[in-house]
Every structure is written in C-alpha cells, then in structure tokens.
Amino acid sequence: MQLTNFLSAAALAATTFAQQYPIQPVYQFANSFSGLGYVNIENVAVRSTNNQLLLNFATGAIMAQINPDAANPQPEVLVNISSLYQGAPGSLTGIAEVSKDVYIVGAGRFQFGPQVPGGVAGVPGSFQIWSVDLNGPRAVANQVVAIPEANLLNGVAAVPTAPGVVLVADSALGSIFRVDTHAKTYERILSLDVFLPGGGNNFGINGIHLQGGNLYFTNSAQGIFGRVPFGPRGYPGGPAVRIASAPNGTYFDDFALTKNGDAYIATQENAISYVAAGSSQAQIIAGGGNSTTLAGPTSCVLRNGELFVVTAGVGGGPMGPVSGGVFKIAVGAAKKMAKRWFA
C-alpha cells in the first residue's frame, strides 16, 4: 500500500469521530457446510423476486439463498456448479442480475496457502462467466463464456441500459472485461494503473458497481475507492478519479452504494467503511480495532436501510478454520435516529 502520510493521517482522524453501528449476526456457517472444511462467502446480492440474499461461495462454486427475515434463517443451496462435471469451477466471485431472476456470476479457481505469493491468487486461465437462472422450480446454471486470458475475475456489474451486458473486473490483470451474455462474447475494454494489484497483494480492482454514468470501483492492493465515467452501452468515457483511500492498515473489498452515491465498503480484516457522496474520506463505522465480529468482510448489500455483510471467515492459521457468516447493520435506521437527536 502506498498511502501518503497526509492521507493516512486524514483517514485516521476521520475514523476517530465516526459513529459506530452495532453488528447483528444473521447466520454463521458451520465448517462442514460446503464439504471443504470451511465456508468462504465471496459475494452477496438481494434476490429481486423474493428479497432474500443470494450468497456466492469461494469454497465450492456454490450459490445459496438465505432469508434474513426468518426467525431462524437457514441457507439453501440453489446450485453447486463444482458438482456439474469433472474440472468444473471451484469458486464463485461477483454476481449481478441481468434480467428478472437471472444472475451472471464469475467462476474459476483459486490457489491458497503459504506457498502462493500473497497467500491467495487466481489460477490463470481457469476463469469463466456463468448464468444462474432462478425462474424455474430448480436453478439452471450454464457457462456463458470462458475467458482464458483472465487471471482473477472478481466484481461483476450489470449495464442496465445495454440488455445482457455485464462488466467484469480482473483483479490480477488490472482490467475490465465487457461481456455480452446474449452474444456470448467478451472484450477487454479498459486497463488502468489504478486497477493494478501490487505490494504482495494479488487483488487490484475488486468490487465494481455502475451508477449515474460512473463505474465505481475498489482497488484492494492500492487502497483506492474511485470511479470512471462509463457510457450507456458499457464503454469507458473518461479518466479515473480517486475518491477516497482505505484507512491505514486496511484494504477495501466489495461495496454497496445508496441511491445518493454514499458507499459502504467491506474493509479487510474486520470492518465496514463509509464514504459519504462528495466526501474524500473513508470512516470505519462498524468493526475495526480489535473487533473479531466480522472475520474477513468480503462484500455487502443494502436492502431497505439495512446493510447485509458477508464474510470470508479464516481459512487457516492459529485462529482458523472459522467459516464466514452473514451479518446485518441497521445503517438507515441509525442515521434517522441520529438526525432526530441532533437536527
């Protein structure tokens, strides 16, 4: 990470005054759940047809669903792509809905462990784009297109003004692929220095979300939350802008945007950061410090003023294995309360 002293001091000062929100557990996965020793949840989306949460696992190419409103939420596996054929993808990454109840996901293989520089890396050549159609009585998963030159497909963003088109971040190449899921074609449309990994961390550009003519992104290795103008057909239209830097000693993963453009960013190793629209400062609003509640937050999504966070857990080491879980933070409710008290 290459933060200047100025930025680090600013981020630190900002965190000192940030309001802290309580984190409520929704579901803790058992280490046995995915059949691989522990569960690493890599991404989350709200399912548009029933308001439940869709979870993409990195431990097994599994999409599960969980109802956070249930008295006793229980996950349900919708599809296990790893089981479809010999050599099928071992992990899922980003997720975006392209048409009613049809989700496009990144899929591929990861290598983990002390022998891998940086601890975790994609397996070059293993990455593909899949669709998961949830309209029928059973989920139907199909490979849309393989992207052999990809090294680590991560965040996926739909382009609502170009039906069937998604943008996909490659964390290792520092690039964005544009995938036409109808034509089953792809092109590498943008590679930038602010997308690159570095400093021993193989994750450069990570989460991506399109809103208001901008593609917002995080870069984990470089500690950047930023944006790039994008046109309605899903092509870039101008230079990248750095919005905020990750608080010192943390790195950004995937994130959620409010309609106003406020960002809630899953912040490794244990926190959620908040960047108000128009602000250049990231504040830790949940977790952080010595908190162990969020073990490796990977992504988050907003639903009716509540932020749902998913975590990777801890794969190994003296603390592991501890599986990931689903957590809830009432960011909207707390903000309303603060207004009532202080306005």
Q: Per-residue b/e over 115-133, b at no fewer than 16 CB within 10 Å?
A: eeeeebbbeeebbbbbbbb
Q: Which is nearer to ligand NAG, 67 or 82 (CB)?
A: 82
Query: According to the binding rule CB under 6 A, does residue 199 interact with ligand NAG?
Result: no
Query: Is the CB of residue 246 less than 8 Å from the CB of residue 292?
Result: no
Binder of ligand NAG out of 229, 249, 261, 320 (CB under 6 A): 249
Instruction: Please identify, among the stretches 7-15, 47-55, 225-233, 252-260, the one whose residues bind ligand NAG according to the rule CB under 6 A.
Output: 7-15
Query: According to the binding rule CB under 6 A, does residue 289 interact with ligand NAG?
Result: yes
| Distances, alpha carbon 245 to alpha carbons 182, 223, 272, 274, 275, in Å | 37, 5, 13, 11, 10
Binder of ligand NAG out of 23, 44, 54, 62 (CB under 6 A): 62
Query: According to the binding rule CB under 6 A, does residue 140 interact with ligand NAG?
Result: no
What residues contact residue 12 under an 8 Å CB cut-off, 6+ apart? 247, 248
Q: Which is nearer to ligand NAG, 82 or 202 (CB)?
A: 82
Binder of ligand NAG out of 12, 241, 337, 338 (CB under 6 A): 12
Query: According to the binding rule CB under 6 A, does residue 292 interact with ligand NAG?
Result: no
Query: According to the binding rule CB under 6 A, does residue 319 interact with ligand NAG?
Result: no
- Which candidate, 153, 172, 263, 269, places its Cα nearest to that of 212? 263
Binder of ligand NAG out of 52, 56, 80, 175 (CB under 6 A): 80
Least gap, CB of 87 to ligand NAG (angstroms): 11
Least gap, CB of 24 to ligand NAG (angstroms): 21
Query: According to the binding rule CB under 6 A, does residue 77 interact with ligand NAG?
Result: yes
Query: According to the binding rule CB under 6 A, does residue 74 interact with ligand NAG?
Result: no
Subset of residues 83 to 102 that bind ligand NAG, contact rule: CB under 6 A: 83
Query: According to the binding rule CB under 6 A, does residue 291 interact with ligand NAG?
Result: no
Query: Is the CB of residue 183 less than 8 Å from the CB of residue 255?
Result: no
Q: For the beta carbon of residue 301, count every other beta carbon within 10 angstroms.
A: 20
- For residue 321, whether the previous peptide bond is cis, meaning omega lies within 30 degrees of 0, is yes
Instruction: Please identify, among the stretches 77-85, 99-107, 156-164, 253-261, the one whose residues bind ligand NAG according to the rule CB under 6 A.
Output: 77-85
Instruction: Please identify, among the stretches 8-16, 171-179, 265-273, 300-308, the one whose residues bind ligand NAG according to the rule CB under 6 A.
Output: 8-16
Least gap, CB of 120 to ligand NAG (angstroms): 20
Subset of residues 256 to 285 that bind ligand NAG, contact rule: CB under 6 A: none
Binder of ligand NAG out of 19, 22, 32, 35 (CB under 6 A): 35
Tokens of 342: 């202080």
Which residue has the closest beta carbon to ligand NAG? 35
Q: Is the dihedral of CA 265, 266, 271, 272 positive or negative?
A: positive
- Which string of x and - marks every residue 162-191 that binds ligand NAG (by CB under 6 A)? ------------------------------
| Distances, alpha carbon 332 to alpha carbons 257, 293, 328, in Å | 13, 20, 11
Query: Is the CB of residue 181 less than 8 Å from the CB of residue 166?
Result: yes
Query: Is the CB of residue 95 less than 8 Å from the CB of residue 156?
Result: yes
Q: Cα 98 to the chain's mean position, in Å?
A: 17
Classify burial at 38, counting beta carbons within 10 Å of its beta carbon; exposed 0-12, middle 13-18, buried 19 or more. Answer: buried
Q: For the beta carbon of residue 248, count every other beta carbon within 10 angstroms.
A: 16
Query: According to the binding rule CB under 6 A, does residue 9 interact with ligand NAG?
Result: yes
Give the footprint of ligand NAG on this chain (CB under 6 A): 8-9, 12, 34-35, 60, 62, 77, 80, 82-83, 248-249, 289-290
